[in-house]
């Protein structure tokens, strides 16, 4: 039987490593999926997810319980993602071609990479259209879209998490959906 978040958090505050692992296990998939939905990059999603749980454990005392733990975790996740984006922007300005070349040379191809080339190409194209569509959204539109479609939250729940009105949530969701449909071709018959 799954324990309540407040019980797990109390144990973490007392120094329980088992409770910390329990909390991570309970939420790691949701955090990863949220970050992946924002960046559509497996490695980035993994790195940011790890950073989120490090920050949560380090700052668990700042969680007062005024809101649900998921709301707290969501805020930490989004802040970690935007911190990562800022750092990445700085890194990309100073990166040079030798770094990129060294990474490319380290790539190891397996036999399965060579199979189903057409299927892989179609998946890659679809992934790129989705990434392009998500990149075309504002940060708030992405957040609203991800909370609605990946987390399955209701409008009023999204409103509470983001601290904006229901009408603003609906507006951002509508604009995000229209942009995604137009870029991915979802609106065409």
Residue 20 is part of which domain span? Answer: 1-107
Task: Identify the domain boundary among 107, 131, 146.
Answer: 107
Q: Find all residues with CB under 8 Å of 61, minimum gap 6, and list them.
A: 13
Same domain, 102 and 120: no
Residues 94, 124 within the same domain: no
Q: What is the pLDDT of residues 61-120, one digit of tens each?
A: 888 888 888 888 999 999 999 999 888 777 666 554 445 444 544 444 444 444 455 556
pLDDT given for residue 66 in this prediction:
81
- What pLDDT digit, counting tens, does each position of 134-182 carry? 788 888 998 898 888 878 889 998 998 888 999 999 999 999 989 888 8
Same domain, 66 and 139: no
**Are residues 124 and 87 located together in one domain of the fold?**
no
- Give the whole-angstrom CA distance, residue 66 versus residue 58: 19
């Amino acid at each position: 039987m799954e324990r309540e978040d407040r019980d797990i958090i109390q144990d973490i505050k007392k120094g329980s490593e088992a409770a910390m692992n329990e909390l991570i296990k309970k939420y790691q998939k949701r955090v990863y999926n949220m970050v992946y939905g924002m960046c559509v990059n497996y490695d980035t999603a993994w790195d940011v997810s790890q950073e989120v749980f490090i920050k949560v454990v380090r700052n668990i005392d700042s969680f007062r319980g005024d809101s649900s733990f998921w709301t707290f975790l969501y805020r930490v996740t989004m802040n970690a993602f935007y911190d990562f984006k800022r750092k990445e922007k700085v890194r990309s300005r100073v990166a040079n071609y030798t770094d990129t070349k060294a990474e490319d040379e380290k790539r190891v191809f397996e036999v399965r990479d060579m199979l189903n080339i057409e299927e892989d190409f179609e998946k890659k194209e679809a992934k790129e259209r989705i990434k392009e569509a998500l990149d075309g959204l504002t940060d708030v539109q992405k957040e609203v879209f991800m909370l609605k479609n990946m987390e399955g939250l209701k409008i009023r729940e999204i409103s509470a998490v983001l601290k904006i009105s229901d009408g603003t949530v609906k507006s951002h969701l509508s604009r995000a959906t229209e942009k995604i449909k137009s870029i991915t071709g979802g609106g065409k018959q």
